Amino acid sequence: MEEDKHYFLQVNPHLTFNVNTQIKEQLKWLIGIEQMEAGDMLPTASQLADELGLNRNTVNWVYNQLRDEGLVTIQKGRGTQIADGSETKHLLEERKPMQQLLNNTIREAAAMGFDLPSFFIAGLAYSLLQPPSPARKLRILLVECREHDYPFYRQEIERATEGEVETLFLDDSSLSDDVVREAAMRSDVVITTLNHAEETKALFARFDSKVIVIGAILEASKLLEIAKLQPGTHVAFVCLGRTGGEWMANRIREAGVHQLHVEIVGMNEPERLNEAFQHSHKIYASAAVFAELKELQPDKTQLFPMKLEQSSENLLHEIALQHR
């Protein structure tokens, strides 16, 4: 450990759980309340073993366990160092509120004359008598832009994972490193779409966040219907913004449908939208804008029905299973 930092670890052979666990959990507390910070070096296994009067293999076991939990890195010839990854950040987020609660409990228990180790062991046993708490929902961060049909992706992710989804918009003027960092710390997994895969991976790489990429397709029946339209038919593809409309039109082009006069419009372009109403024979609307357009142009407006690619559906189910 660094010379200007002072720590106090101890082992109690009379406790009912082994010294390996005692040391590991104390070190996790020191990391969690930032008495040990990312980048700090731990003492060598021999040094800590000598300080505590233990076998060096015991300390090696502790360090290996901390490495497996993502809290330290071990490099031959360099030593054991506190990691600066998502696991460490999560520990900081978890332990600071715990510390305040436990400090209050310790003061009250000591004032009442309880032996603290006995009190907390009894408390652990008593907690096992309580009904199991509902499992915490998977926390998902969806990274998209406001011009795409982000409500569709959000709803599909919620359906497939039963998780809690927060949306981060890449085109928000308030987006900053601090906003991204806080969003990453709140989330178990980051999900984005193919359109923003590289941008999102670059944005979250520094926070060691796992980024999952999903995609969507147009339902086959609607694609066949559009493909059968007469050459020269004027159609408009409308989404929340023009970028989303362009994505819709590209799905048609990729399917080899080129005989149509295509206009791409966003709901945020009222003048272009009015022109599309006049010139288009059919208006294909994403789910996010369908109800509003159907009310304005009931005879022309049809839903552009999307669904997740099967590989994306499978991936979301796998993520959900891993969390349970």
What is the C-alpha separation between 110 and 193, in angstroms, rounded? 54
Instruction: State the pLDDT at residue 16.
Output: 60
Q: Residue 4 half-sphere exposure, CB side, CA atoms within 13 Å?
A: 2
- Looking at the fold, whether 45 and 92 belong to one and the same domain comes out as yes
Per-residue pLDDT band at 15 (split at 50, 70, 90): low
- Looking at the fold, whether 178 and 52 belong to one and the same domain comes out as no
Within a domain: residue 297? yes
Predicted TM-score of the model (pTM): 0.61
Neighbouring CB atoms inside 10 A of 211's CB total 19
Among the listed residues 158, 153, 161, the one whose alpha carbon sits nearest the alpha carbon of residue 193? 153
Neighbouring CB atoms inside 10 A of 76's CB total 5
Instruction: State the pLDDT at residue 246.
Output: 95
Query: Please, which residues bridge with residue 264 across strands?
Result: 237
Within a domain: residue 228? yes
User: pLDDT by residue (tens digit) across 137-173?
Assistant: 899 999 999 999 999 999 999 999 999 999 999 998 8
Within a domain: residue 32? yes
Helices (H), the chain: 19-32, 45-52, 56-68, 86-111, 116-128, 150-161, 177-186, 197-204, 220-227, 242-254, 270-279, 287-296, 310-323
Q: Is residue 115 packed enough to be buried (19+ CB in 10 Å), middle (13-18) or exposed (0-12)?
A: exposed
Among the listed residues 285, 279, 313, the one whose alpha carbon sits nearest the alpha carbon of residue 298? 285
**Average pLDDT across the chain, whole number:** 90
Among the listed residues 39, 21, 322, the one whose alpha carbon sits nearest the alpha carbon of residue 163? 322
User: pLDDT by residue (tens digit) across 261-299?
Assistant: 999 999 999 999 999 999 999 999 999 999 999 999 999
| Residue-level length of the chain | 324
**Token pair belonging to 321:** 């299973």
- Looking at the fold, whether 149 and 33 belong to one and the same domain comes out as no
Handedness of CA 39, 45, 50, 51 (dihedral sign): positive
The CATH number given to whatever domain includes residue 46 is 1.10.10.10
Residue 147: which domain range? 139-215+311-323
- Looking at the fold, whether 317 and 185 belong to one and the same domain comes out as yes
- Looking at the fold, whether 177 and 317 belong to one and the same domain comes out as yes
Number of domains in the chain: 3
